[in-house]
């Protein structure tokens, strides 16, 4: 367990202040209502932060110099969001480009291969769940996947889902143990850009398939209290989820998944809360947009950070979504393409926007805000309050 009880209490307090209208009252000593049972038991609460595609284009490493040891340091890319990320019990990111390292020769689109120090920077920022199931997973074949898995296992403290180095590994459910709560995690991609795994090694990447997902969820649910699934799906540059995203989201809700984290469209899509077949609640973030990239359109600079907390009542075996939000993020690229960093939009200034490489293409703080309002319903982002 990487977080102290003290940090959990702090996070819990923040979530209470932000989300739960009745929280102050029950904390003040009024008799807890039946459905508040356990809400003061911090040991049963888990907080999450999730972001979208970490898409490492060539210019992002070209503008970084190696240190004396011949290694890159990419901590600056994520420094403005570090506090938010490291404060959560579980922090998720989709590593869109395979980090096979320089031994496999670094490369840009269409077949990416990124420096492995990107993974160090993500871990150092506080991400402890990295999904590698996406359409670029096989860009550098089996070698890229194996190199990335090896590197991540050496970093430690990070659980990877979505790619595997053996059939056995692909059948082993991934469980994070957070303050006594078992969080089951998995991730899937719609495909791998037409690159097939070597025959007999289909286990390398977890590809979306209803029967496989249902079987995996059966196994995962037996071993975990909360289930969170990341889906790489949808149409690029679409603000609307496709019918297939909606169908899969309902299928996941019906299998009892608590939260679905969507990535791939490179732009944000509005989250929803679905009802599953058993009357359960499933929070679905259809798309969190990009986290980091050197893409070329203003809307691709606008991402979101999903934040939610879930309470698990071990006695009742019940799960409760306490509150959720989507905070807008802005990927900053300086006009000389020498500086990249991702900011909470609330910290992004007119001055920074004025120096954005895409300012000439119409990127303005105002236009980003109006897109946030259009998709999330409010300039500040999207919020969900559970019923008291």
Helix or strand or coil: residue 353?
helix
Site string for Zn ion, 290-319 (x = CB under 5 A): ------------------------------
Which residues touch 186 (CB under 8 Å, ≥6 apart)? 161, 162, 173, 174, 206, 213, 216, 217, 220, 227, 229, 230
Least distance from C-beta 232 to Zn ion, angstroms?
6
Site string for Zn ion, 78-117 (x = CB under 5 A): ----------------------------------------
Pick the closer one to Zn ion by CB: 188 or 348. Answer: 188
Whether the Cβ atoms of residue 219 and residue 160 lie closer than 8 Å to each other? no
| Residues contacting Zn ion: total by CB under 5 A | 3
Least distance from C-beta 136 to Zn ion, angstroms?
6
Burial of 356 (0-12, 13-18, 19+ CB in 10 A): buried
Least distance from C-beta 193 to Zn ion, angstroms?
9
Rounded Cα–Cα distance for residues 45 and 210 (Å) = 30
Whether the Cβ atoms of residue 93 and residue 127 lie closer than 8 Å to each other? yes
Please report whether residue 44 would count as binding Zn ion according to CB under 5 A.
Answer: no
Pick the closer one to Zn ion by CB: 122 or 220. Answer: 122
| DSSP output for 110-159 | TS-B--THHHHHHHHHT--EEE--STTTTTTHHHHHHHHHHHHHHH-S-E
- The correct pick among 264, 320, 332, 371 for binding Zn ion (CB under 5 A) is 264
Whether the Cβ atoms of residue 289 and residue 304 lie closer than 8 Å to each other? yes
Q: Which residue is nearest to Zn ion (CB)?
A: 264
The DSSP letter of residue 86 is H
Least distance from C-beta 300 to Zn ion, angstroms?
12
Least distance from C-beta 112 to Zn ion, angstroms?
10
Pick the closer one to Zn ion by CB: 132 or 134. Answer: 134
Least distance from C-beta 94 to Zn ion, angstroms?
8
Site string for Zn ion, 130-169 (x = CB under 5 A): ----xx----------------------------------
Residue from 86, 84, 213 nearest 161 by CA = 213
Pick the closer one to Zn ion by CB: 239 or 384. Answer: 239
Supply 166's token pair.
């053996």
Handedness of CA 144, 146, 148, 150 (dihedral sign): negative
Pick the closer one to Zn ion by CB: 266 or 307. Answer: 266
Which stretches of the chain bind Zn ion, using CB under 5 A? 134-135, 264
């Amino acid at each position: 367990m990487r977080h102290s009880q003290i940090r959990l209490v702090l996070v819990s307090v923040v979530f209470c202040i932000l989300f739960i209208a009745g929280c102050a009252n029950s904390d003040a000593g009024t008799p807890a209502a039946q459905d508040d049972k356990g809400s003061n038991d911090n040991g049963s609460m888990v907080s999450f932060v999730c972001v979208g595609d970490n898409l490492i284009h060539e210019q992002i490493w070209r503008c970084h110099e190696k240190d004396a040891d011949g290694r890159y340091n990419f901590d600056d890319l994520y420094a403005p969001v570090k506090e938010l990320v490291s404060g959560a019990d579980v922090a998720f990111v989709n590593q869109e480009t395979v980090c096979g390292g320089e031994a496999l020769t670094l490369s840009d689109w269409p077949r990416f291969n990124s420096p492995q120090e990107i993974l160090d920077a993500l871990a150092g920022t506080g991400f402890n769940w990295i999904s590698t199931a996406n359409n670029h997973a096989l860009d550098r074949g089996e070698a890229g996947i194996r190199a990335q898995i090896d590197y991540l296992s050496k970093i430690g403290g990070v659980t990877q889902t979505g790619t595997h180095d053996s059939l056995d590994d692909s059948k082993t459910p991934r469980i994070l143990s957070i303050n006594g709560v078992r969080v089951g995690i998995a991730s899937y991609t719609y495909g791998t850009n037409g690159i097939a795994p070597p025959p007999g090694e289909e286990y390398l990447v977890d590809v979306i398939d209803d029967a496989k997902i249902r079987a995996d969820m059966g196994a995962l649910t037996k071993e975990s209290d909360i289930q969170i699934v990341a889906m790489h799906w949808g149409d690029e540059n679409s603000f609307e989820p496709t019918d297939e995203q909606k169908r899969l989201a309902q299928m996941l809700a019906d299998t009892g998944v608590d939260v679905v984290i969507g990535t791939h469209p490179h732009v944000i899509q509005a989250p929803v809360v679905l009802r599953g077949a058993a009357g359960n609640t499933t929070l679905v973030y259809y798309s969190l947009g990009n986290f980091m990239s050197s893409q070329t359109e203003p809307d691709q600079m606008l991402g979101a950070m999903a934040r939610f907390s879930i309470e698990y009542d071990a006695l009742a075996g019940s799960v409760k979504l306490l509150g959720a939000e989507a905070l807008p993020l802005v990927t900053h690229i300086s006009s000389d393409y020498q500086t990249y960093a991702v900011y909470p939009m609330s910290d992004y200034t007119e001055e920074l926007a004025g120096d954005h490489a895409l300012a000439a293409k119409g990127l303005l703080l105002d236009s980003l805000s109006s897109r946030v309002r259009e998709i999330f319903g409010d300039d500040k982002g999207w919020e969900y309050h559970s019923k008291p």
